[in-house]
Chain A
Amino acid sequence: MARYLLIRLMSLGAALVVASGVIFLMIEVTPGDPARFMLGMNAAPETVAALSAQLGLDRPVGLRYLDWITGMLRGDFGLSYTYKVPVAELVADRLALSAPLAALALALSTLIALPAGLYAAARRGRVGDSAVMGLSQLGIAVPNFWFAMLLVLVFALHWRLFPAGGFPGWADPGAGLRVLILPAVALALPQAAILARVLRSALIEELGRDYIRTARAKGASRGRALLRHALRNALIPALTILGMQFSFLLAGAIIIENVFYLPGLGRLIFQAITQRDLIVVESVVMLLVFAVIAVTFLTDLAYAAVDPRLRRRG
Chain B
Amino acid sequence: MRPALALGAVLSGVALAAALVSFVWTPWDPGAMAISARLQGPSLAHWAGTDHFGRDIASMLMAGARTSLAVALVAVGIGMGVGVPLGLTAAAHRGSWLDELIMRGNDLIFAFPALVIAILITATFGPSATNAILAIGIFNIPVFARVARAGALSLWTLDFIRAARVAGKGRARISAEHILPNIANLLIVQGTIQFSLGILAEAGLSYVGLGAQPPTASWGRMLAEAQTMVTLAPHVALFPGMAIVLSVLGLNLLGDGLRDALDPRLRGRVT
Q: Do chains A and B touch in the complex (CB under 8 A)?
A: yes
A residues adjacent to B (C-beta < 8 A):
11, 14-15, 18-19, 22-23, 26-27, 30, 32, 137-138, 140-143, 145-146, 149-150, 152-153, 157, 244, 247-248, 250-252, 254-255, 258-259, 266, 269-270, 273, 276, 278, 281, 285, 288-289, 292-293, 296
User: 1/0 per position for B104-133, CB-CB distance to A under 8 A?
Assistant: 100110111111100111111100000000
Which residues on B sit within 8 Å (CB–CB) of A153?
230-231, 234, 237
Identify the closest chain A residue to B120 (Cβ): A26
Residues of B within 8 A of A145 (CB): 203-204, 207, 223
Query: Which of chain A's residues has its CB closest to B234's CB?
Result: A153
Q: A32-B124, A141-B248, A149-B237 given. 20 additional CB < 8 A pairs?
A: A15-B107, A138-B245, A140-B249, A141-B200, A141-B246, A143-B223, A143-B244, A145-B207, A146-B203, A146-B245, A149-B226, A150-B241, A152-B230, A153-B234, A254-B115, A255-B208, A258-B208, A266-B208, A273-B123, A296-B107
Interface of B is mostly: helix
Determine the chain B residues whose CB is within 8 A of the CB of A26 once the complex forms.
120-121, 123-124
Is the interface on chain B under 10, 10 to 19, 20 to 34, or 35 or more residues? 35 or more
Given contacts A145-B204, A149-B241, A270-B209, contact A251 B249 (CB under 8 A): no
**From A27, A157, A254, contact of B120 by CB (8 A):** A27
Q: Indicate if B196 sits at the interface (CB-CB under 8 A).
A: yes
Among B113, B122, B226, B252, point to the contact of A288 (Cβ < 8 A): B113
- In angstroms, Cα B117 to Cα A27, docked, is 12
Are B113 and A255 in contact, with the CB atoms below 8 A? no
Report if B213 contacts A (CB, 8 A).
no
Residue pair A281, B123 in contact (C-beta under 8 Å): yes
* Chain A residue contacts of B252, Cβ below 8 A: 137, 140-141
* Cα of A72 to Cα of B227 in the assembled complex, Å: 37
Which residues in B have their C-beta under 8 angstroms from that of A143? 200, 203-204, 207, 223, 241, 244-245, 248
Ordered by A's residue number, 19 sampled pairs between the chains whose C-beta atoms are within 8 Å are A137-B256, A141-B200, A141-B246, A142-B245, A143-B200, A146-B245, A149-B227, A149-B230, A150-B237, A157-B231, A252-B204, A254-B208, A258-B208, A258-B224, A270-B209, A273-B123, A281-B119, A285-B120, A296-B107
Most chain B CB inside 10 Å of its own CB: which residue of A22, A30, A248, A251: A251
On whether the beta carbons of A273 and B122 are closer than 8 Å, the reply is yes
Closest beta carbon of chain B to A296's beta carbon, Å: 7
Question: Would you give the shortest CB distance from B114 to chain A, in whole angstroms?
Answer: 7
Contact partners of B119 in chain A: CB under 8 A: 269, 273, 281, 285
Q: Which one of B124, B196, B203, B248 contacts A30 once the chains associate, using CB atoms below 8 Å?
A: B124
The chain B residue sitting closest to A252, CB to CB, is B204
What is the distance, in angstroms, from B152's C-beta to the closest C-beta of chain A? 19
